Amino acid sequence: MFKSTNLDLFTFPFTNFKNKTYRYSNDLVALSEDKVNFMKITPEYKVQIKRKREMLEEQPEVRYQSFPHTMEMQWEFVELLIDLSINKYPEHFSVEKDGDQWTFTNHILGETETFIFGDESSLSLEPYDMIGRHFHNDFMLMVNRDDNFYLEVAQESFAALFSPNWNLGMSFNEIHGPVPFVSRDGVELTDRIRKFLLTIEPGAPRTRVNWNLMADRWDVNYETMDIWGPERDKVTAENAGKLVHLRVEEQWFIRMPRSNAILFVLDTQFLPLEDLVLRPEWLETTYFNLADIPDYMAEYKGMAPFLPQSVEYLENLMNSMKVK
Amino acid sequence: MRVIGNIEMYVGKIEQITESVKRFYLYPSDQKLLPAFTGGAHITTYVDLGDNILEREYSLVSHPTDRTHYAISINRDPHSRGGSAYWHDHIKVGDKVISSFPKNHFTLGFHAKHHVFYAAGIGITPFLTMMEELEAQGKTFELHYAARTKEACAYHDYLHEKYPGKCTFYFSRSDEPQRMTPETMKNQRIGSHVYFCGPVAMVSEYKEAALSYGYPEKSIHFELFAAASGENNPFLVEVINHNKVIEVNPEQTLLEALLDAGIEAPYSCKAGGCGQCEVDVVEGEVDHRDIFFSDEEREQKKMILTCCSRAKEEKLVLKL
Amino acid sequence: MYNSPVLYDQSETIKEKLSFNDKRKKHLIIYDQKAAGDVKQALTAHSQEELNYEPFEIEDAIKLQDLRTLLYSQKMGTHLYIASNWDHAATVFAEATEAGFTEDEIQTVIYGPKRRYIYCMKCYHTSEISDGDEVQCARCDAYMEVGPFFSKVRKGYIGYPFIPN
């Protein structure tokens, strides 16, 4: 278990709201050149990689899925990740390319991957799985076929009602389909977001921040619903500070030109509610937002059973700070 | 690997393909590999003319996985908006050109069991890379290609040799003139997808024909050279969530007026063919000039493609 | 193709009764004995219009070779109507999409009960279920609530695991 310890690297989510309240929106913001590289090495890097790899080792069927026809797309992904990592962190990552013979070195972990680029048989794992294990993010490849996007490769270790095993091969609309998904002004968003994703072109990646609350869990996937479902009820206004975490997903959408796919990159970060005292302005904003969540949204996000306790905890925390 | 922005290129080679078609080879100034692409992709090119920028879209005709250079083929069209004439008359080897990343709004149907291409003139360009992909995947396809003469038919010999038995050519000004007609769509096997590329009139004719033969909309694909034109009336547009009222004059499109007013309106092809510039209409009648929406969609949804469609009357209210 | 359409109880192709799609030029009707009467009636009702149709009756068991020959010889502009019990319809539907028919070109009229399947999120096994919102996995016995999502790849509804009180 880990949390963000360097708050300067934590992506505080409540910046996109009107009148202090938050609703879903399809604001996928264009990225500027200096923000496009999603590589981020935090103090938690080693812990996160260890956890991610354990999950992939222990539950390969749950955490990684692909179709056999995706190999060329997987290599495009390998090239992207290696180039972005050495660009941003040349002190941590390096690559030697001798024709198709590539040697990638992760200096933080002291590991080297040697392979023939474009030849899956030179690796023991699939290319996407191999390179993804060097970075803490979750990676979903949604391939544009006809007028929709289909999940064809996924490596995931922080699910929020998602499962590579279940969602493999589903379209964007099928993944979100039957659930109401509504904007600030009540517009049904799934199809609008699909259309917006279609406008994301190569060379013009976009970003978005999503958030949730989690009760004593890092991962709420479909596979373990029987476990975390009831656990949400153990939250009280007294223990919410430790048990409940603000879960932030910083998301990147990158159109891969050869795959004609959108690479969906997630950087999932956690902050226990009690740590909000470190940034009093965040505490206040979080409180106002959570106090105003409509019921349908609390249900959709799965936080309904412990939202009132969390709000009460934050209110008490603010009051105690004012007293001091 | 490149991920953002445009790419500075220089013209490395120019080839005369036919009397009116030139092929331009573009190389990256930084010598780094270019993004690979998929069949049917195009780039937006930007040429600095000093007082303004010439922005044009051209299909890529080089091999999709050749990352050393891109190639485009341009027909010198006497009725062009100035783009093809400038490229033909002024662009020389060594000149700088800015290119976008490759984009693709004309992709192959994923579920198609057979692909049938119809090209009129320079409309052949996107099909060159699409056929390249299908050939590599071992899928079946056929090409119907109309030109005035064999000499004016760009890539005739190349296609004839590379895809024997798959290409049918129609020369309207030969000794035995032949006309390409939509009739050949009638006998295609179930699961076929049809693709049209050419002038607006040709694409409209083939699209109507395909629908009349009972083709479902999703099996019909097309790309246009330029937007259909009509009388350009001036009108007002109110953008409610930006609290702005903007005048659209006869010389500009709605999209241009929105962009000039500082509104970040989405767009891509600027020809009413890709649907990227779709915006919600709150009030007002739309004069639809695109061929992207079906009649059904026009009735059901209140939408406008800002790159080519206009207000029927004096005002439109939009939401972006 | 992994995302090819699948016949399931909520399929958009399922209609209450046969109705001809006037956008198409030809109508291919594949039916079994249960539907024979209704098909005959529908054709009689349209007998004035010179409807271009081809009937194909399934007798007892489906002869796959004959079915494939029929489906693969169809041209664009053909609409397929499947009128039969669930099992016949599921076979014809799968063969038809393989031949190139899309959901926009298929209409299905089911005689008798529709089958439903669930994908267990505990053991990743797809099994048939009867009506009701809560079921037990046929393989691992996990208790599951039938969720609203359907996967064409897993060919079933999602089964949300829960621990009964």
For residue A133, the tally of other CB atoms under 10 A from its CB is 21
Q: Which of the residues C1, C2, C3, C163 would you substitute to probe the A interface, choosing the one with the greatest number of A C-beta atoms within 10 Å?
A: C3
The 10s digit of each residue's pLDDT in A251-287 is: 999 999 999 999 999 999 999 999 999 999 999 999 9
Given pLDDT bands bounded at 50, 70 and 90, which one contains residue A302?
A: confident
Q: Are the beta carbons of C54 and C28 closer than 8 angstroms?
A: yes
Domain ranges across chain C: 26-110, 116-162
What Å distances lie between residue B39 and A231, B2, B117, CA to CA? Answer: 51, 20, 13
Specify the range with the lowest mean pLDDT, choosing from B6-10, B67-71, B249-253: B249-253
Specify the range with the lowest mean pLDDT, choosing from A51-65, B224-238, B241-255: B224-238
C interface with A, Cβ–Cβ below 8 Å:
2-3, 119, 121-122, 124, 142-143, 148-154, 158, 160-163
State the nearest Cα–Cα gap between A83 and chain B, in angstroms.
6
Question: ipTM score here?
Answer: 0.94
User: What is the C-alpha separation between A221 and A260, in angstroms, rounded?
Assistant: 28
The 10s digit of each residue's pLDDT in A181-234 is: 555 555 566 777 787 788 889 998 988 888 899 998 888 889 998 988 888 889
CATH number of B235-319: 3.10.20.30
Could you give the percent of chain A with pLDDT greater than 90? Answer: 67
User: What is the C-alpha separation between A22 and A30, in angstroms, rounded?
Assistant: 20
Buried b / exposed e along A264-296 (16+ C-beta atoms within 10 A): bbbbbbbbbbbbbeeeeebbebbbbbbbebeee
CATH tag for B7-99 (out of 2.40.30.10, 3.40.50.970, 3.30.499.10, 3.90.1150.10) = 2.40.30.10
Overall average pLDDT of the C17-36 stretch: 96
Does the pLDDT value for residue A22 go beyond 60? Answer: no
CA closest to B64 among chain A residues: A258
**Which helix (DSSP H) or strand (DSSP E) does residue B42 occupy?**
strand B42-48
Domain ranges across chain A: 7-323
Give the chains touching B; criterion: ≥3 Cβ pairs < 8 Å: A, C
CATH number of B114-224: 3.40.50.80
CB-defined contacts B:C, below 8 A? 61
Q: Are the beta carbons of B127 and B143 closer than 8 angstroms?
A: yes
The single residue of A53, A184, A208, A279 carrying the catalytic annotation is A208
pLDDT attached to residue B228:
47
* Crossing angle (nearest 10°) for helices C64-72 and C86-99: 40
B227 burial level (CB within 10 Å; 0-12, 13-18, 19+): buried
CB contact (8 A) between residue B111 and residue C4: yes
Given pLDDT bands bounded at 50, 70 and 90, which one contains residue B293?
A: confident
Instruction: Say how far residue B286 (Cα) sits from the centre of its chain.
Output: 23
Domain ranges across chain B: 7-99, 114-224, 235-319
What is the SS3 assignment for A125? Answer: coil
User: What is the C-alpha separation between B315 and B248, in angstroms, rounded?
Assistant: 10
CA closest to B219 among chain A residues: A146
Residue type, B266: P
User: What is the C-alpha separation between B253 and B242, in angstroms, rounded?
Assistant: 19
Chain C contact set for B217 (CB, 8 A): 104
Q: Is A208 a catalytic residue?
A: yes
Selecting from A166, A168, A229 the residue whose C-beta is nearest the C-beta of C158 gives A166
Q: Which fold has domain C26-110?
A: Rossmann fold (3.40.50)
Specify the range with the lowest mean pLDDT, choosing from B87-91, B143-147, B217-221, B233-237: B233-237
A110 Rama class: left (phi>0) / alpha (psi -120 to 50) / beta = left
